[in-house]
Amino acid sequence: MDGGQADRVRWALVGTSEFAVEWIAPAIIDSPVATLAAVVSSSAERAREVAARLGAPIATDDLATLDRGVVDVVHLVTPNALHEPLTLAALAQGLDVVVEKPMALDVAAGRRMVAAARAAGRLLAVGHCMAWAPPVAAAARLVADGAIDTPVELRIAAGFDYPPAGLWRQVATTEAGGGPWADLGPHAVDAAVRIMGPVTSVDGLIDRLVHDYAAEDTVTALLRFASGAHGTITTTFVAGQNELLIQGTGGRLRSTDWLGRDFAGDLTFEPAEDGVIRFDIERPTEPREVPLERTNVYRPQVDEVSRAIRDGGPTRIDGERGLHVMEILEGVVRAARTGERVAVGRPIG
């Protein structure tokens, strides 16, 4: 039964940023199947301070001091450049790993991480928490159930205004993990794949439209899904955007609030009229609100990963899926730089 201390999976929080402490740590602490056993920081003093605040018994500045005698899984909430080396180190110590998105700096690193997890027989998961965003989860379920018949198009927009302030996402180039594509792109691409299935080829545009910093401020991707359906994703640091649309032969799903951390969002379903969405009639089919429950997306993520570790079951954020997202992200940048459409080599099933 869930809830007994002996059954709880022991987590180590690696990284003590505001996001790690205020979002990831509470999700672990509040889970009925997890416990926060350790805090790791590059500063021993910071590790002790955060561990004391969160009630974690172990504080350290050295990941190598942790093994399965004290923890089961590490959650890496660190700069992107540390994702691969810390993942490989934790796997070598026999630990399961959850790594924040994006999975790695590039596809080659992601492949090494997946291979290392497979060789070690350990779980590697990527923090694609929008798997539990209520509009995304509901849209994926409705599409799978055939509510809109054959899906033909997906559109996603995500962004906010981010004026120059010398912050690392602005100072780093797009290739180095700066800009909206590395920040918002992983969420948008993962949502697109969850709803529409794997991607086989991509194209892209990357531009500096407003803000004068190293990272380009707007990225648009064109996706071809394995089904043949089309998709577009725009991420930007120049305007607030939070939109999702899935068009099918039998209707459409639309959200104006699909991306969030602790929220319900919204989703409407507009069925087709006589099998065709009509734009030339006075009174189109009335959209129907899809009921959604408010969700903190990190809680079910911790619960599912903990049960997968404890019981040996699957998780919807496994490393293979994270790698496919990485291939799409990297492919879009390469396509934008070269002006040539890029094939995505390892679509998931």
Q: Judge if 174 and 117 occupy the same domain.
A: no
Q: Judge if 41 and 81 occupy the same domain.
A: yes
Q: Judge if 11 and 39 occupy the same domain.
A: yes
For residue range 80-94, list pLDDT tens digits in order.
Answer: 999 999 999 999 999
Beta-bridged to residue 245, according to DSSP, are 155, 254
Q: What is the mean pLDDT of the chain?
A: 94
Q: Judge if 141 and 114 occupy the same domain.
A: no
Structure token pair of residue 310: 């404890």
Residue 334 has pLDDT above 90, yes or no: yes
Band (pLDDT 50/70/90 cuts) for residue 286 is confident
Q: Judge if 239 and 108 occupy the same domain.
A: no
Residue 320: helix, strand or coil by DSSP?
A: helix
Beta-bridged to residue 235, according to DSSP, are 158, 219
Q: Judge if 177 and 246 occupy the same domain.
A: yes
Q: Judge if 187 and 281 occupy the same domain.
A: yes
Q: Judge if 145 and 63 occupy the same domain.
A: no
The answer to whether residue 308 sits within a structural domain is no
Q: Judge if 122 and 137 occupy the same domain.
A: no
Distance CA 122, CA 94 (A): 7
Please count the structural domains in the chain.
Answer: 2
Domain of 59, CATH number, reads 3.40.50.720
Q: Judge if 198 and 264 occupy the same domain.
A: yes
Final residue before a domain boundary, out of 105, 126, 147: 126
Check residue 287 and give its pLDDT.
Answer: 82
Range of the domain at 58: 5-126
Distance CA 88, CA 79 (A): 15
For residue range 49-92, list pLDDT tens digits in order.
Answer: 999 999 999 999 999 999 999 999 999 999 899 999 999 999 99
Look at residues 151, 170, 186, 178 and name the one whose alpha carbon lies nearest to residue 259.
186
CA 287 to the chain's CA centroid: 29
Q: Judge if 33 and 85 occupy the same domain.
A: yes
The answer to whether residue 302 sits within a structural domain is no
Number of H helices, E strands in the chain: 11, 17
